Amino acid sequence: MATRPSTDSGRFGRRTFFKSMLFVAGAAAVGGVSACSQNEGGTRRGQPEPRGATAQPRPLPIPPLYTGELKGSTRSFELTAQRGEFEIVEGTKTATWGFNGAWLGPTLYMRRGETIDMTVTNNVGEPTVVHWHGLHLPAAADGGPALIFAPGEQWRPTWKIEQPAATCWYHPHPHEISALHAYRGLAGGLIIADDESDALDLPRDYGVDDIPVIITDAKFTDDGQLDETIDPTYGLLGTTPLINGITKPRLTATTRRLRLRLLNGATMRFHHLELGTPFHVIATDQGLLERPIEADAILLSPGERAEIIVDLEPGKDLTLRSTGVPNGGGLPKEETTDGFGLRDTFDLLDIVAPAQDAPAQDAPASREEPGALPTKLVDKHDANADAAPTREFRLNGFQINEQSMDMARVDFAIDHEGPEIWKVTNENADWPHNFHIHNARFAVRAVEPLGGNAEASIDFTHGWHDTINIPPLSTVTLLVEVGYYPDPTLAYMYHCHMLFHEDQGMMGQYVVTRPNEEPALGPAGHDHHAV
d(Cα 231, Cα 451) in Å, to the nearest integer?
Answer: 31
Q: Considering beta carbons, is residue 178 or 336 the nearer one to ligand C2O?
A: 178
| Residue 21 contact partner, candidates ligand C2O, Cu ion, none, CB within 5 to 8 A by sort of partner | none
Q: Does residue 303 interact with ligand C2O by CB under 6 A?
A: yes
Estimate to the nearest angstrom the gap between the alpha carbon of 260 and the chain centroid: 14
| Residue 501 contact partner, candidates ligand C2O, Cu ion, none, CB within 5 to 8 A by sort of partner | Cu ion
Coil, strand or helix: which one is 475? Answer: strand
| Bridge-based pairing state of the strands 420-426 and 390-396 | parallel
Q: How many residues does the chain have?
A: 531
d(Cα 193, Cα 166) in Å, to the nearest integer?
Answer: 7
Provide, rounded to whole angstroms, the least separation between the CB of residue 174 and Cu ion. Answer: 14
Per-residue string for binding with ligand C2O, 369-408, x by CB under 6 A? ----------------------------------------
Interface stretch with ligand C2O, choices 93-101, 183-191, 274-282, 489-497 (CB under 6 A)? 489-497
DSSP structural state of residue 404: -
**Sole binder of ligand C2O in the list 75, 111, 131, 269 (CB under 6 A):** 131
Provide, rounded to whole angstroms, the least separation between the CB of residue 373 and ligand C2O. Answer: 29
Q: Does residue 171 interact with ligand C2O by CB under 6 A?
A: yes
| Residue 261 contact partner, candidates Cu ion, ligand C2O, none, CB within 5 to 8 A by sort of partner | none
Q: Considering beta carbons, is residue 483 or 488 the nearer one to Cu ion?
A: 483
Contact present, 304 and 261 (Cβ < 8 Å)? no
Q: Does residue 433 interact with ligand C2O by CB under 6 A?
A: no
Q: Give me the amino acid identity at 105.
A: G
Q: How many CA atoms lie within 13 A of 236 on its CB side?
A: 28
**Sole binder of ligand C2O in the list 318, 413, 456, 493 (CB under 6 A):** 493
d(Cα 204, Cα 189) in Å, to the nearest integer?
Answer: 15
* Residues 6 or more apart in contact with residue 333 via CB below 8 angstroms: none
Per-residue string for binding with ligand C2O, 495-524, x by CB under 6 A? x-x---------------------------
**Sole binder of ligand C2O in the list 257, 259, 343, 438 (CB under 6 A):** 438
d(Cα 516, Cα 368) in Å, to the nearest integer?
Answer: 59
Identify which of 233, 59, 232, 139 has the alpha carbon closest to the alpha carbon of residue 491: 139
Find the helix or strand (DSSP H, E) in which 279 lies. Answer: strand 271-284
Q: Does residue 111 interact with ligand C2O by CB under 6 A?
A: no
Provide, rounded to whole angstroms, the least separation between the CB of residue 488 and ligand C2O. Answer: 20
Q: Considering beta carbons, is residue 210 or 420 the nearer one to Cu ion?
A: 420
Please report, to the nearest 10 degrees, the dihedral formed by the alpha carbons of residues 331, 336, 337, 341 taken in order. Answer: -140
d(Cα 39, Cα 483) in Å, to the nearest integer?
Answer: 41
| Residue 498 contact partner, candidates Cu ion, ligand C2O, none, CB within 5 to 8 A by sort of partner | Cu ion
d(Cα 120, Cα 156) in Å, to the nearest integer?
Answer: 6
Contact present, 529 and 498 (Cβ < 8 Å)? no
Contact present, 425 and 434 (Cβ < 8 Å)? no
Interface stretch with ligand C2O, choices 28-36, 108-116, 376-384, 490-498 (CB under 6 A)? 490-498
Cβ-closest residue to ligand C2O? 133
Q: Considering beta carbons, is residue 5 or 303 the nearer one to ligand C2O?
A: 303
Q: Considering beta carbons, is residue 173 or 391 the nearer one to ligand C2O?
A: 173
Identify which of 468, 464, 357, 355 has the alpha carbon closest to the alpha carbon of residue 419: 464
| Residue 256 contact partner, candidates Cu ion, ligand C2O, none, CB within 5 to 8 A by sort of partner | none
Identify which of 397, 431, 430, 392 has the alpha carbon closest to the alpha carbon of residue 412: 392
Q: Does residue 173 interact with ligand C2O by CB under 6 A?
A: yes
Provide, rounded to whole angstroms, the least separation between the CB of residue 132 and ligand C2O. Answer: 9
How many helices and strands (H and E) does the chain possess? 6, 31
| Bridge-based pairing state of the strands 492-495 and 107-111 | unpaired
| Residue 248 contact partner, candidates ligand C2O, Cu ion, none, CB within 5 to 8 A by sort of partner | none
Contact present, 12 and 404 (Cβ < 8 Å)? no
| Residue 433 contact partner, candidates Cu ion, ligand C2O, none, CB within 5 to 8 A by sort of partner | Cu ion
d(Cα 467, Cα 368) in Å, to the nearest integer?
Answer: 36
Provide, rounded to whole angstroms, the least separation between the CB of residue 485 and ligand C2O. Answer: 16
Contact present, 153 and 122 (Cβ < 8 Å)? yes
Residues that bind Cu ion (CB under 5 A): 133, 433, 438, 496, 498, 501
Q: Considering beta carbons, is residue 295 or 496 the nearer one to Cu ion?
A: 496
Q: Considering beta carbons, is residue 77 or 492 the nearer one to Cu ion?
A: 492
| Residue 171 contact partner, candidates ligand C2O, Cu ion, none, CB within 5 to 8 A by sort of partner | ligand C2O
Q: What residues make contact with ligand C2O under the rule CB under 6 A? A: 131, 133, 171, 173, 303, 436, 438, 493, 495, 497
